[in-house]
Amino acid sequence: MFSSVKSVALSGINGIITSVEADIRNGLPSFNMVGFLSTQVRESGERVRAAVLNSGFYLEPKRILVNLSPADIKKDGTSFDLAVAVAILAAQLSLDNDYLLETAFVGELSLSGEIKTVTGVLPMVSAAKEAGIRRFVLPVANYREAKLVDGIEIIGVASLLEAIEAVQKRVEKGRTIDIEPAISDDKKLPDFSEVHGQEGIKRAVEIAVSGMHNILMIGQAGSGKSMLASRIPSIMPPMSVDESLEVTKIYSISGLLEEGRGLIETRPFRSPHNSISLPALVGGGSKVRAGEISLAHNGVLFLDELPEFNRQTIEVLRQPLEEKKITIGRISGTATYPADFLLAAAMNPCKCGFYPDRKFCRCNEVQIKNYLSRVSRPLIDRFDIVAEVKRISFDSIFNKEEKSGENSDEIRKRVLAARDIQEERFKHESIHFNSQMDSKMTDEFCKIDQKTKALLEEAYKNINLSLRGYYRVLKVARTIADMRQKAEVGEFEVAEAIHYREMIERFWG
């Protein structure tokens, strides 16, 4: 007796259609599973045996062999339990094979036969739809997440018995009863109107968001760097449906999607502690999980107290910042995760945090240099904007006029206007933002006159601009021009962009 059903394995945020084959024949009773399986999947044999018996089915004392193919893909997790049980019972009971060929199954089984929720359902259902599978049977607790994918019928089940009944009765319509309303995603974001003064750095942040430029804020302790960074998502454009789906997939496979939550619509803001390990930041581990840079995809990754991070850990950011993705290879397999985020970082100018105010700073030149050297120049060069956050005056705290600054909605309108210009500019390209331009595109879209060229040449010599830095200045200038609704990049825009690079020479020169 032979039967085959469909399930889905995960590789990164992509689903891989998996065939779960069961062969039952006479011989010494045994239960074996093959197909490049992790320990969790191998243990499912005992869970399946108990779940089948406790669901009222009789398991014949025969040789049972279960194969999960393709055999060159590592199978991990508990989501194959339901498919294994259905495959065995389908072979034993001779269930409708035509129905099974058009159906995929995922779910973890308890010993009683109850089906428990699993992670990564969204990418699994998306892969099944792309493969032409008509329906998907999964835990009822994952129903709402799965329904985010259109074009495939979702059948939520609470037990193994209910899943078998769905196959026997050829159920087509998904179960919708006992589904709790989706958890709302309307988070109240911190607003820029709460920031006192600091117009210069707010301007720098607006430029950074408008063109998706990485930004580093340097300033004395307590000057408001973290406060500013936490408000960046409030001025970013809303995510598109495709962006939301991609973010939701990452959180789903990472087990961070709350039960009952629908689509994630708020841009991620991740702020890992400076003690974070390298695998936790970029991804990896024995199961090749997504790291913080992928959890920040389509949002903001904020690294506070940048020099306090392990140098080896943050140096790994160089490649993902350029490629917008991270490929992780382990013995168990290789996975690629997206990592397209706005990097915002903050740091003090010295160990005590008060340089260059010699009234309070007690660090000598060697101590200051050693502290700054914890962050390498090549990594600093990846920041398009390096801006100083100055300590605000006592009067500005109580000045009502300064206190009632622009709110995030007003700033977001200008950001959206600049983004619209970029979308039109790159409509025939594979990019969306000025920061993503390569050198050829930069030369094409950032044409400058002789006076502006002379200004850039002077800056190239005086502030030790690298070739990468030269092009980053032009990209930032292009964004500033877009914010001013200007078609050409002129002296004003280039001068402001150079100002944001001068800080690098001032501290690391």
The predicted-structure confidence for 240-283, as pLDDT tens digits, reads as follows 989 999 999 999 999 888 766 678 889 999 999 999 999 999 98
361: number of Cβ within 10 Å: 18
Question: pLDDT tens for residues 309-363?
Answer: 999 999 999 999 999 999 888 766 788 899 999 999 999 988 888 887 777 888 8
Closest to 459 in 3D by CA, of 444, 474, 445:
474
Query: What's the pTM value of the predicted model, to 2 decimals?
Result: 0.88
Answer yes or no: is pLDDT of 397 > 90.
no
Q: Which of 42-56, 96-110, 278-292, 468-482 has the lowest mean pLDDT?
A: 278-292
Closest to 472 in 3D by CA, of 376, 338, 378, 349:
378
Answer yes or no: is pLDDT of 233 > 70.
yes
- What's the CA angle centered on 248, arms 19 and 141, to 5 degrees? 65
Q: Are 138 and 105 a contacting pair, CB within 8 Å?
A: yes
Q: Are 473 and 494 a contacting pair, CB within 8 Å?
A: yes
Tell me the C-alpha distance between 392 and 138, whole Å. 56
**What domains, with CATH codes, occur in the chain?**
2-168 (3.30.230.10), 192-411 (3.40.50.300), 437-509 (1.10.8)
The confidence score (pLDDT) of residue 393 equals 66
Tell me the C-alpha distance between 201 and 199, whole Å. 6
Answer yes or no: is pLDDT of 128 > 70.
yes
Residue 334 token pair: 């290789």
Per residue, the 3-state secondary structure of 237-286, as one string, reads: CCCCHHHHHHHHHHHHHCCCCCCCECCCCCCCEECCCCCCCHHHHHEECC
404 falls in which pLDDT band (50, 70, 90)? Answer: low
Closest to 92 in 3D by CA, of 63, 69, 67:
63
Answer yes or no: is pLDDT of 462 > 90.
no
More confident residue, 33 or 194: 33
The predicted model gives 408-424 an average pLDDT of 95
Question: pLDDT tens for residues 155-186?
Answer: 999 999 999 999 998 887 765 544 555 555 55
Q: Is 503 exposed, middle or buried (0-12, 13-18, 19+ CB in 10 A)?
A: buried
Q: How far is CA 474 from CA 209, 457, 479, in A?
A: 16, 12, 9
Tell me the C-alpha distance between 175 and 307, whole Å. 53
Tell me the C-alpha distance between 426 and 443, whole Å. 14
Question: pLDDT tens for residues 199-209?
Answer: 889 999 999 99
